[in-house]
Chain A
Amino acid sequence: AQSVTQPDIHITVSEGASLELRCNYSYGATPYLFWYVQSPGQGLQLLLKYFSGDTLVQGIKGFEAEFKRSQSSFNLRKPSVHWSDAAEYFCAVDTGRRALTFGSGTRLQVQP
């Protein structure tokens, strides 16, 4: 069965600093990969997705993610974090057969 690991439960960065959120997946083939962001009390917003092709994917709000097959990773990055980026971030995989499988999430705090 597929699984998703987000090793960092909580990350704090200073505003303007760069950000990288880690995501590793376990699946026999290459799944579809997603990053979602969730603000407190809100639903999920899709940041970006990887289906195939270019392994560097650009998303909304200045985020990007890189798929690395050899590492089974799909890390999310942003060169300069804004205070409004503080939220919970979820990595998810879709094997095409059923529902998305989510990681446990990483809570991002942004210091002024």
Chain B
Amino acid sequence: GAVVSQHPSRVICKSGTSVKIECRSLDFQATTMFWYRQFPKQSLMLMATSNEGSKATYEQGVEKDKFLINHASLTLSTLTVTSAHPEDSSFYICSARNPDGGNTIYFGEGSWLTVV
């Protein structure tokens, strides 16, 4: 079964609103989680690294005020897309590194965001 769970799997929101996506590690404590974005027919692009108890590290070109990341516990990281616009519509995938499991990285099932 899945060891990293994402919710919701699909969400539709109106322009200007905010939407939150959750990423949970089910079987292990993840001090580090990662958020990716994938446009149709493209590869996964790393958006940010989520660090438990501290600020996220954003990749160049990613607006930290627009994509808010919170990693308040060792099993949960959230990505909030603020003031969403249609161009934010995408597939968002999280992953988590299991430090006690050979440092293996596990992926969530992904979340489809459509902004209308």
Contact of A99 among B6, B41, B102, B105 (CB under 8 A): B105
Within 30-58 of B, Cβ neighbours of A (below 8 Å) are at: 34, 36, 41-44, 46, 49
Q: Which residues of A contact B46 (CB under 8 A)?
A: 99, 101
The B interface is mostly helix, strand or loop, or mixed, namely strand
22 pairs across A/B with beta carbons < 8 Å?
Answer: A42-B110, A43-B6, A43-B93, A43-B108, A43-B110, A44-B93, A44-B107, A44-B110, A46-B107, A90-B43, A90-B44, A96-B103, A98-B34, A99-B34, A99-B46, A99-B95, A99-B105, A100-B34, A101-B46, A103-B43, A104-B42, A104-B43
Q: Footprint of B on A, CB under 8 Å? A: 36, 41-44, 46, 51, 88, 90, 94, 96, 98-105, 107
Q: Once bound together, how far apart are the Cα atoms of A96 and B105, in whole Å?
A: 10
Question: How many residues on chain B are close to A (CB under 8 Å)?
Answer: 19
Q: Footprint of A on B, CB under 8 Å? A: 6, 34, 36, 41-44, 46, 49, 93, 95, 102-103, 105, 107-110, 112
Q: Which residues of A contact B6 (CB under 8 A)?
A: 43
A68 CB to closest chain B CB (Å) equals: 23
Q: A41-B112, A103-B43 are in contact. Are A94 and B105 (CB under 8 A)?
A: yes
